[in-house]
Structures are given as structure tokens and as C-alpha cells.
């Protein structure tokens, strides 16, 4: 197999940042240094050369909703966004609560443009009642267990899941924290805008009561607990306090929760409908502060494709969720890195090696050093581009950033040494 | 004006011009043959995703008195399948060649979305818990003919389930736009979590505000809200927030009583009060036709319309 050299970039990994070329051979980084040569070259001038991104929260819709997305198209979108691994959420039809379904998703991912890791449900059928066969799923490689899309509302079930997961090495329970009774019928953040628009609200307290409760359960059981898509100032504060008290909790935030607010819903366009909902300016500021001080460990997209016709219903009737994979890193750069909320190193930590650690993915998240698997992302922070929904690799078009000009784009992505994105074009 | 989606689409001058126009149509509706050829050849579709006999008949009557052709498109809520998108439905209707859609939908903002998708004018005849602008306008028309052209300084209380009321959302803004001093009266469970941005004050105590009011505007109480634990029982609601005969006796002598209908007699309003001399409830209904004629004429007449 020929040598490939990524030339002229700034290497950024957990060890820091330096100007260096990277030589890749047989799927592995073999040399990092200056003036390297190889059989083929990838131009990285002006770019950061970093470990590939890892998204612990994506909806690939397969099986059951292939009109919205497939493992193949979702993985392609991920690769274009610089991701080399994604964790597929289990709210498929049938759900990922059974080894045969998980095995089918993994098989579909084997040829995909990024590594596709399956989550497993916490409960059978995501019904919140009986535990799913977590051990059988764990044996297939599942490490993140979640009923995402729905909250595990029953405190007794949540307690047992946390306890049971302690016997499964590397397992983490991942909670969609929104109390179903408090959000019943709600379609946007409950506050000034929902009051004006007459759209039923999903209050911040719905997220916060579950976070508070689950912190108590995590501390009492000693289990690992991950909070998905934290979106309120109160939830950030609860996680901050839990970490200070020694609980084994981690948390993620989504780009839309640090870029958009509930005011977007005034258009009644359900492209802005998502769970948890877009919140207020104060919540947005708290999410940024939580990322800055490490309270929020990782950035995850909650990439949630929906067919166009599903979003051409009235706001209250349309499904929740928005695309995220192809715009995430640019938004991280625009909203967090350029304004000084995160250093480039902290941004990649939140998008790459910290999520890799949470998901237990040893081959992802760096370092960029000899012997490491060549899962890499080459990012040009100065590249300006306009988000055109029809040009996205995702099957769906429901991006809330349509028409927005972003600065920062992934130029190349390498998956186990294969160039899966070259000059911004998907190769798989 | 191309669409009427929200009261906020109109400023005070715009509202007053519509009320002037409606006043002239009130005269038309009292003629022996209450019909004018103002919109002959225009096609108006009433698209009701939610049942509403009175609003629908009011709009259709208004359109016919302006000589429009009226098409009814009834969508029983049960037949709104998950298959066809709202966009497909309205684009299909528009392909038949229409000038305006009068639309009622159970979801907030549905007419706003439709207005983006089609060339015809869209009139919001009630969208979820959001707005019901023609109700607010006909209420203003009714008050105008009882207490004069402006509402400056008039004290109006809207009483009931504000949270779920499109009548309250439109009414509060419309009354305030003409200068009224609006108070929302409801238990905390029937108010939005915040009224920031609303031109109102809030009270949880009807008795405390009753004696100062020029207008009491009562909202219909929906029984299913009891199951949502919004209030303990209809009896308790009536005891605390109903306009009973005893409470009505404590109103100022010139105070007026309004209700958008349909009423729950004996719940939010006593039957004797609804039929008493202070009640404008029948006038509200009568003014609905003239007001909706004015809205349709404003959108489709005199250079408007797209036929």
C-alpha cells in the first residue's frame, strides 16, 4: 500500500498544536514531521490536521425510516463534516433493542464513509418499562445505552438500568432528559415566545427535574451517566454541581443550542422544532459557559433527518429534529472558537477525543502520532461556504442554517487511512 | 394588505380604516337585498381543519354578500392523514384558481405557513391557541358602536383560559392598540408562564377588578382542561371566575359584557347575565359578517386580489 502525506497543515491533537506533515501507511499514521514525502499528497495548507470528529448522538433512521436517511447517506454526511465515527441512536423501527437489529446496522455501516457505532436501548421497545438485553448488545460492541427520543421517566427503571450497566465494562447510560408529563403536548420552549405564539410549551423545568433526579441516582449507584443535549441554564448548573460533588456524569450540547433561540420559532417554520427545544438567550449563554469551563464535555449534533413533507406540516404537528453533521464544526468555529469561548484545542477535545472516550472508541480521537489509526480530519477554518440544503449529502433537507454563510469547512477526511472526503467531496 | 394572519399585522390606523369600512358594510347588511357586487368573480375558499359552524357561516355569508364565489373545503380532523402535507393540500386547492383562503386550523401558525406557499390571500379564521384576528376586529366594531370610535382609557378585563385562547391573544393586542387598558383575569394555571410582550396587566382575582371595569370579556371554558388539572371543577371555576348574577350586580351600571361564543351558560357566564341589557353577545355575532366583508374587501377589492 502506498504512502500518503498530508502536507502543509498544523497538526492539532491532545498533545497540542504544531506545524507538521503527516505520513499515513496501511491505515496507520507512521510519521509526523517536517518535509515528508509520499506516493500521494493531500494539501493541508492553511488547515488544521486533527483526529477525526466523533459524534455520540446521530439519527441515521435505518431501519425503518430510510426515506429520511440511511446509514450510508448519514455516514457520508458525517464524513463531510469531519466525523470518523458516529453513534447511531436507537429510535428506529424496529428499535435497536435487539441483537439482530444492532447487527444489521453494524453490517450496513461496514462499508460506510465513517465508522458507524450502534447504541442500544435501555428498555425494550423504548417503552420505559423492562430492561433491554443490555448484555447481549454489549457483546456486539454497544457501549452507549439510551432510549433517546424518549426519556426514561420511571425512576425505578432508571435506577435499575444504572445499576445493571455497572457490570458491563465501558457501558454508559445516556439520558434524554425531559420529563414526559411536563412536556406533554409541547412543541417549543415554554417562555415569552410560546406565550405570544400560542404554541404549547416544553418548559426548562422538564429537563432540569430529570437531570436533578438522575444525578442523585448516578451518585447513589456509582454508575456512569451521560446527559444528552443539555439545553438549559439550570441543567448546566446541576451538571456543574454534580461533577463538583464527584458524580460520574458527562454531558453533551448541540450546536443548535448555542447558535439559535426560541425566537426562531416566530416564523412557525418547523425546521426550528427540536427536542429539547431551542431556548432563550440566557440559556444559550449558559451552554457556552458550560462548554468553556468543561461542565459540558462534548458537542454532539443530534443530527435528526426528516423528509421534506414531514416538515411541511404546521409547527405543532411536524416531527422534531434538525440536521447537524455537515454544519457542526463550522458553527463550533464561528460561535465558540472565533469569539474566544473555546480554544481550537478545547473545541477539538469537545468534538473528537472526549466523545471518543465517552463512547469507548480507542481508534478515534487521536493522538496524531506514529502507530495511531489514521482517522483524521483536515479542517480549513477560513473556507467560506453557503449552506445549500439541496447540496447536502444527507437525504433530508431540514437544516435550520439554510442560506447562511459559514466560515470553516472540512477539506479532507481519512477513515483508517482511506481518503473518504477529498477537497470537500465525498469519495464513498 | 395581502393577508390577515395576526392582529399585529395592523397598526392603529390600519385597524381604524378596517372598522370604517366595516361600518359602511353594516349598512349594506341591513338593506332589503344585503348584497353588493364589489367582489364579483372572486373565488374564496373556506378551508376549515377544525369544526366551527359560526365562524365558517359568518365568513361564507360575508363573501356571498360581496358577490364572491364561495367554495367550502371541509377537512374533518380525522381525515387529516399523516400522508398528505398541508402544503400539498393548499397547493392542490390553489390550482383550482382561487383568490383567497379563509383558514381555520388546530395548530398555531398553520395559515402563516400557507401564506408562504401560495399566491392567494390568506385570512386566519383561528389558528390553534395563537390568534383569531377577525374575532378581535368584530369585537372592536361592536364596542365602537357602543362606546365610541376609540377605546382610550377603557378598562377591559379578559377572563378565563387565556393560555389556550386565540381570542385572548388577538383581543388583548387589538384592544390595547386602540388605547384600552387590558387586564387578564385567570387562575395561574390558565395563564401563559409569562406575559412579557403582552400589553396587559394580570390578576388572579376577578372580584378585585370587577368594580372598575368598562367591559368584561368572558372566554369559553373547555371541560377537558379539568382533566389537565388546570382547575379542580367547573363549580369551583364558576365560584371564583364566573360572571354570576351576584358579580354582575357589582359591575358599574354602564359596564358591558362580551363573549366570543359558544357559551357555557352557568359556567363562565350566568344565563340571565348573557341575556341582560349589558350583554353585547348577539351584536358581536351580527357584526361578524360586516367585519369579515371589510376584511375580504380590503384583501381582494380595489386592486387587491390575484384572480
Q: How remote is the C-alpha of B25 from its chain's centroid? A: 18
Helix (H) or strand (E) holding B216: strand B215-218
Instruction: Determine the average pLDDT of the residues in B244-264.
Output: 97
Are A91 and A139 found together in one domain?
Answer: yes
Report the C-alpha gap between B7 and A351 in whole angstroms: 45
Look at residue B82 and tell me whether its pLDDT is greater than 80.
no
Q: Tell me the pLDDT band of B72, cut-offs 50, 70 and 90.
A: confident
Give the closest-approach CA distance of A298 to chain B in angstroms: 31
Higher pLDDT pick, B84 / B54: B54
Best probe of the A interface among B8, B107, B164, by most A CBs < 10 A, is: B107
Q: In 3-state terms, what secondary structure has residue B46? A: strand
B113 shares contact with chain A (CB less than 8 Å): yes
Are A378 and A354 found together in one domain?
Answer: no
Are A228 and A285 found together in one domain?
Answer: yes
Are A254 and A400 found together in one domain?
Answer: no
Q: Which residues of A are catalytic?
A: 302
> What pLDDT, on a 0 to 100 scale, did the predictor assign at position B306?
43
Are A321 and A418 found together in one domain?
Answer: no
Backbone φ and ψ of A150, nearest 5°: -125, 150
Are A70 and A40 found together in one domain?
Answer: no
Are A239 and A99 found together in one domain?
Answer: yes
- Tell me how long chain A is: 428
Residue at A364 is within a domain: no
B9 shares contact with chain A (CB less than 8 Å): no
Higher pLDDT pick, B80 / B273: B273
Are A239 and A353 found together in one domain?
Answer: yes
> What pLDDT, on a 0 to 100 scale, did the predictor assign at position B76?
62
Bridge pairing between strands A40-43 and A3-7: parallel
Which among A80, A73, A79 is positioned nearest to A115, based on CA atoms?
Answer: A79
> What pLDDT, on a 0 to 100 scale, did the predictor assign at position B83?
59
Q: Which three cell numbers stand for residue A144?
A: 452507549
B199 shares contact with chain A (CB less than 8 Å): no
Report the C-alpha gap between A101 and B63 in whole angstroms: 57
Are A301 and A383 found together in one domain?
Answer: no
> pLDDT tens digits, residue range A346-383?
999 999 999 999 999 999 998 999 999 999 999 999 99
Report the C-alpha gap between A188 and A196 in whole angstroms: 12
> What pLDDT, on a 0 to 100 scale, did the predictor assign at position B74?
72
Sign of the C-alpha dihedral, residues A402, A148, A76, B87? negative
* Verdict on whether the full-model pTM lies above 0.90: yes
> pLDDT tens digits, residue range A189-232?
999 999 999 999 999 999 999 999 999 999 999 999 999 999 99
Mean pLDDT of chain B: 93
Partner-chain contact A312 B112, CB within 8 Å: no
Q: Are the CB atoms for A44 and A24 separated by under 8 Å?
A: no
- Exposure on the CB side of residue B187, measured as CA atoms within 13 A: 17
Number of domains in chain A: 2
Q: Which domains does chain B have, with CATH numbers?
A: 7-132+287-300 (3.40.50.1370), 133-284 (3.40.50.1370)
> pLDDT tens digits, residue range A250-302?
999 999 999 999 999 999 999 999 999 999 999 999 999 999 999 999 999 99
Q: Which residues constitute the domain of residue A25?
A: 3-48+371-426
Q: Which three cell numbers stand for residue A30?
A: 507512521
Q: Tell me the pLDDT band of B303, cut-offs 50, 70 and 90.
A: low
Sign of the C-alpha dihedral, residues A79, A82, A85, A86? negative
Residue at A365 is within a domain: no
Share of chain A above pLDDT 70, in %: 100
Instruction: Determine the average pLDDT of the residues in A306-331.
Output: 96
Q: What is the CATH number of the domain that holds A133?
A: 3.20.20.140
Cite the DSSP H helix spans in A267-378: 281-292, 328-332, 344-348, 354-359
Partner-chain contact A192 B197, CB within 8 Å: yes
CA dihedral A400, A403, A408, A412 (to 10 degrees): 90
Please provide the DSSP assignment of A9-74 as one string.
-EEEETTEEEE-EEEEETTEEEEEESS---SEEEE-TT-EEEEPEEEEEE---TTT-TTT--HHHH
Residue at A66 is within a domain: yes
Look at residue A2 and tell me whether its pLDDT is greater than 90.
no
| Chains A, B: CB pairs < 8 Å | 73
Are A260 and A196 found together in one domain?
Answer: yes
> pLDDT tens digits, residue range B94-149?
999 999 999 999 999 999 999 999 999 999 999 999 999 999 999 999 999 999 88
User: In the β-sheet with A418-422, what is the strand arrangement from edge to edge?
Assistant: A16-19, A10-13, A48-51, A376-386, A405-415, A418-422, A425-426
Mean pLDDT of chain A: 98
Share of chain B above pLDDT 90, in %: 86
Which among A387, A399, A294 is positioned nearest to A347, based on CA atoms?
Answer: A294
For residue B106, which residues of chain A lie inside 8 Å, CB to CB? 316
> pLDDT tens digits, residue range A14-35?
999 999 999 999 999 999 999 9
For residue A198, which residues of chain B lie inside 8 Å, CB to CB? 108, 127-131, 166, 169
Angle at CA A415, nearest 5°, toward A396 and A136?
Answer: 80
Are A390 and A325 found together in one domain?
Answer: no
Look at residue B78 and tell me whether its pLDDT is greater than 50.
no
Are A349 and A407 found together in one domain?
Answer: no
- Tell me how long chain B is: 307
> What pLDDT, on a 0 to 100 scale, did the predictor assign at position B80?
53
Amino acid at each position: 500500500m502506498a504512502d500518503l502525506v498530508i502536507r502543509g497543515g498544523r497538526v492539532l491533537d491532545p498533545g497540542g498544536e504544531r506545524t507538521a506533515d503527516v505520513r499515513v501507511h496501511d491505515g496507520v499514521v507512521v510519521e509526523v514531521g517536517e518535509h515528508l514525502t509520499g506516493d500521494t499528497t493531500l494539501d493541508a495548507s492553511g488547515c488544521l490536521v486533527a483526529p477525526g470528529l466523533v459524534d455520540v448522538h446521530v439519527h441515521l433512521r435505518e431501519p425503518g425510516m430510510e426515506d429520511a436517511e440511511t446509514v450510508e447517506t448519514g455516514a457520508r454526511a458525517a464524513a463531510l463534516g469531519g466525523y470518523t465515527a458516529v453513534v447511531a441512536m436507537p429510535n428506529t423501527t424496529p428499535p435497536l433493542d435487539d441483537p439482530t437489529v444492532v447487527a444489521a446496522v453494524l453490517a450496513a455501516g461496514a462499508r460506510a464513509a465513517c465508522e458507524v457505532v450502534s447504541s442500544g436501548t435501555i428498555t425494550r421497545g423504548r417503552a420505559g418499562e423492562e430492561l433491554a438485553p443490555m448484555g447481549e448488545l454489549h457483546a456486539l460492541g454497544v457501549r452507549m445505552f439510551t432510549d433517546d427520543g424518549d426519556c426514561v421517566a420511571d425512576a425505578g427503571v432508571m435506577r435499575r438500568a444504572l445499576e445493571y450497566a455497572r457490570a458491563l465494562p465501558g457501558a454508559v447510560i445516556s439520558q434524554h432528559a425531559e420529563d414526559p408529563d411536563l412536556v406533554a403536548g409541547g412543541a417549543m420552549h415554554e417562555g415569552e415566545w410560546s406565550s405570544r405564539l400560542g404554541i404549547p410549551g416544553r418548559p426548562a423545568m422538564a429537563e432540569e427535574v430529570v437531570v436533578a433526579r438522575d444525578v442523585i441516582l448516578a451518585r447513589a449507584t456509582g454508575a456512569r451517566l451521560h446527559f444528552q443535549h443539555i439545553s438549559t441554564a439550570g441543567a448546566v448548573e446541576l451538571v456543574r454541581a454534580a461533577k463538583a460533588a464527584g458524580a460520574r456524569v458527562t454531558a453533551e450540547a448541540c450546536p443548535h443550542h448555542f447558535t439559535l433561540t426560541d425566537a426562531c420559532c416566530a416564523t412557525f417554520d418547523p425546521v426550528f422544532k427540536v427536542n429539547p427545544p431551542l431556548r432563550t438567550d440566557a440559556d444559550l449563554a449558559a451552554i457556552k459557559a458550560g462548554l468553556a469551563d468543561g461542565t459540558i464535555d462534548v458537542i454532539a449534533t443530534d443530527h435528526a433527518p426528516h423528509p421534506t413533507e414531514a416538515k411541511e406540516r404546521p409547527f405543532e404537528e411536524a416531527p422534531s429534529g434538525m440536521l447537524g453533521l455537515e454544519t457542526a464544526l463550522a458553527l463550533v468555529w464561528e460561535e465558540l472558537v472565533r469569539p474566544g469561548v473555546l480554544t481550537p484545542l478545547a473545541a477539538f477535545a469537545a468534538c473528537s477525543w472526549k466523545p471518543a472516550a465517552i463512547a469507548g472508541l480507542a481508534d478515534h480521537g487521536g493522538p496524531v502520532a506514529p502507530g495511531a489509526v489514521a482517522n483524521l480530519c483536515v479542517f480549513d477554518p477560513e473556507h467560506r461556504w453557503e449552506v445549500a440544503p439541496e447540496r447536502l449529502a444527507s437525504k433530508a433537507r431540514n437544516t435550520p442554517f439554510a442560506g447562511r454563510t459559514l466560515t470553516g469547512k472540512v477539506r479532507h477526511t481519512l477513515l483508517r487511512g482511506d481518503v473518504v472526503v477529498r477537497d470537500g467531496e465525498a469519495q464513498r | 394588505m395581502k393577508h390577515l394572519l395576526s392582529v399585529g399585522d395592523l397598526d392603529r390606523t390600519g385597524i381604524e380604516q378596517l372598522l370604517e369600512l366595516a361600518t359602511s358594510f353594516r349598512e349594506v347588511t341591513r338593506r332589503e337585498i344585503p348584497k353588493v357586487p364589489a367582489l364579483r368573480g372572486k373565488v374564496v375558499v373556506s378551508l376549515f381543519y377544525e369544526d366551527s359552524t359560526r365562524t365558517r357561516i359568518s365568513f361564507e355569508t360575508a363573501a356571498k354578500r360581496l358577490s364572491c364565489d364561495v367554495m367550502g373545503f371541509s377537512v374533518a380532523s380525522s381525515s387529516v392523514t399523516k400522508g398528505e402535507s398541508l402544503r400539498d393540500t393548499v397547493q392542490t386547492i390553489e390550482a383550482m384558481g382561487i383568490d383567497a383562503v379563509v383558514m381555520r386550523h388546530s395548530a398555531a401558525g398553520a395559515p402563516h405557513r400557507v401564506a408562504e406557499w401560495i399566491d392567494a390571500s390568506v385570512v386566519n379564521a383561528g389558528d390553534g391557541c395563537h390568534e383569531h384576528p377577525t374575532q378581535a376586529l368584530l369585537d372592536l366594531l361592536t364596542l365602537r358602536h357602543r362606546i365610541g370610535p376609540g377605546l382610550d382609557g377603557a378598562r377591559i378585563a379578559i377572563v378565563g383560559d387565556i393560555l389556550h385562547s386565540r381570542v385572548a391573544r388577538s383581543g388583548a393586542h387589538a384592544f390595547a392598540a386602540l388605547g384600552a387598558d387590558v387586564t387578564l383575569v385567570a387562575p395561574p394555571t390558565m395563564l401563559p408562564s409569562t406575559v412579557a410582550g403582552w400589553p396587559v396587566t394580570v390578576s388572579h382575582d376577578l372580584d378585585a377588578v370587577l368594580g372598575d371595569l368598562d367591559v368584561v370579556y368572558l372566554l369559553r371554558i373547555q371541560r377537558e382542561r379539568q382533566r389537565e388539572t388546570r382547575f379542580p371543577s367547573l363549580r369551583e371555576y364558576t365560584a371564583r371566575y364566573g360572571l354570576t348574577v351576584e358579580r354582575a350586580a357589582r359591575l358599574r351600571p354602564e359596564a358591558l359584557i362580551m363573549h366570543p361564543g359558544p357559551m357555557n351558560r352557568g359556567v363562565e357566564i350566568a344565563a340571565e347575565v348573557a341575556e341582560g341589557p349589558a350583554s353585547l353577545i348577539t351584536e358581536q355575532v351580527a357584526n361578524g359578517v360586516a367585519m369579515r366583508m371589510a376584511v375580504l374587501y380590503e384583501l381582494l377589492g380595489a386592486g387587491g386580489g390575484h384572480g
